[in-house]
Amino acid sequence: MRVLLTNDDGIDAPGIATLQKAIAPHAKEVVTVAPQTQMSECGHRFTVYAPIPVEQRTDNAYAVAGTPADCTRLGLTQFAADADWVLSGVNAGGNLGVDIYTSGTVAAVREATILGKRAIAFSHFIQRPLEIDWDLVTHWTGKLLAKLLTQELPEKHFWNVNFPHLTAASDPEIIFCERSTDPMQVRYEARDQQFHYVGSYPDRPRAAGTDVDVCFSGNIAVTQIAI
């Protein structure tokens, strides 16, 4: 199995190194094509009116001066056209519910799905100010991969995975659930003729049984999303 890895936190982010460790036992070859810098919340934007510089880091790793969607497009046309799967993440921050519309992490796998590839997005909810235990996330990701790589996935659908933020090593339950469609908090404060967003991610609506509720309850939320 050949796998293309990408993300929106940048090629040097710990989350993509975590994903590489977790996929290694399952993959014959892994090719990484990821943004040079942080590209969070860029959505499904891609570059068509300007050249896209690419820096080759190793034989199978490329840093792209572009968006996650650019990385998927370049990866599947230039560097890993025969990839069986496209994996994105592990994002430092949740991509739950309506987050999928602004998330670069999710946009990368949505683009892969549009181009006919099977794909999974991985994200980790952060309950600040706690830090992410990346060793624990590697363990969880390995378990998810063992399950999802063999799970039936309809054409034109992808998986979206969100890990909870737990304070101690544990094995949370994997729950397949529906995606929340409730809005994020839309709150601003006016200061010095500027508006500052002050909405609280953890205080968003969490309808019972949706991915937001599952993840915030300390379990792993897995949703299947159609393009």
Could you report the per-residue pLDDT of 70-101, keeping only the tens digit for each? 999 999 999 999 999 999 999 999 999 999 99
Nearest Cα to Cα of residue 1 among 90, 121, 117:
117
pLDDT of residue 182: 96
Q: What is the predicted pLDDT for the residue at 219?
A: 96
pLDDT at 64 over 90: yes
Residue range 137-167, pLDDT digits in tens: 999 999 999 999 999 999 999 999 999 998 7
Instruction: Report the alpha-carbon distance of residue 16 to residue 192 in Å, rounded.
Output: 39
Question: For residue 114, which amino acid is it?
Answer: I
User: Would you state the structure tokens that stand for residue 220, as one six-digit string?
Assistant: 């792993």
Please give the share of the chain, as a percent, with pLDDT higher than 90.
Answer: 94
- Render pLDDT for 116-140 as a digit per residue (tens, 0 to 9): 999 999 999 998 767 899 999 999 9
Exposed, middle or buried, 69 (CB in 10 Å: 0-12/13-18/19+)? buried
Domain borders along the chain are 2-226
Helices (H) and strands (E) in the chain, counts: 5, 11
Q: Tell me whether residue 12 is exposed, middle or buried, using C-beta atoms within 10 angstroms of its C-beta: 0 to 12, 13 to 18, 19 or more.
A: middle
Q: Which residues pair with 210 in a beta bridge?
A: 178
2-226 fold: Stationary-phase Survival Protein Sure Homolog; Chain: A, (3.40.1210)
Three-state DSSP at 138 gives: helix
Do strands 194-197 and 188-191 pair parallel, antiparallel, or not at all (unpaired)?
A: antiparallel
pLDDT at residue number 131 = 85
Instruction: Collect all residues with Cβ–Cβ distance below 8 Å to 62 and sequence separation of at least 6.
Output: 31, 32, 33, 34, 54, 55, 56, 74, 75, 79
Please provide the distance, in angstroms rounded to a whole number, between the alpha carbons at the two ends of the chain.
24
State the pLDDT confidence band at 168, using cuts at 50, 70 and 90.
Answer: confident
pTM: 0.95
Least Cα distance to 123 among 80, 207, 179 occurs for 179
Cβ-proximal residues to 210 (8 Å cutoff; 6+ apart), any chain: 97, 177, 178, 179, 180, 182
